Amino acid sequence: MTSSSVLNLAPVVPVVVLEDAADAVPLARALVAGGLPAIEVTLRTAAALDAIEAIAAEVPGAVVGAGTVISARNVSDTVAAGARFLVSPGWTDPLLDAMKASGVPFLPGVSTTSEVVALLERGVSEMKFFPAEAAGGTAYLKALSAPLPQARFCPTGGISLASAPSYLALPNVGCVGGSWMVPGDAVAAKDWARVERLAGEAAALRG
């Protein structure tokens, strides 16, 4: 699987923060059932690695990835746990080297034109645009598409069901990342039916 195929798996990649690894499998099953197989589990909690491992082992329809990857240690730990793609909020040369060496697809984060050009110089053309809304949103990405058409993005950060279609309409956007289909109250209540319904709405954004 290439990073391009991550961008093409679904119009939306759920960005998941899990406080309890026991919620990982039912949450992932609900997302997959709703039509969102690519799931980014962020490394923001102590449960993240266990959650990735559980989803990788028990939800065959899921393509689980790791988000908030900011170190070579994060790369090795998450790949060992079963992560099939990596997403970082930003990048450095050592982090990029580690992600390249990992053997799995990755989306390094960018928020400026210079960062995009630097990644293109390193042979990387697929990236996360973060924080999307705060960094200029659709207007910024549209402006990048003419001088840098070879760069493709997964914008993440502040995107909602209402704003996602305007991102997905851009020629340089492969998918968007978001958390609106995994609201904290639904996860806390273990309302997996609601998560599945919200995932279905998100999956329908691009026919």
Q: Is 190 a catalytic residue?
A: no
Active-site hit among 40, 53, 126, 196: 40
Q: Is 133 a catalytic residue?
A: no
Q: Which two tokens stand for residue 104?
A: 């799995």
Buried b (16+ CB within 10 A) or exposed e, 76-98: ebbbebbbbbbbbbebeeebbeb
Active-site hit among 53, 100, 115, 128: 128
CA dihedral 143, 108, 122, 153 (to 10 degrees): -30
Residues classed as catalytic: 40, 128
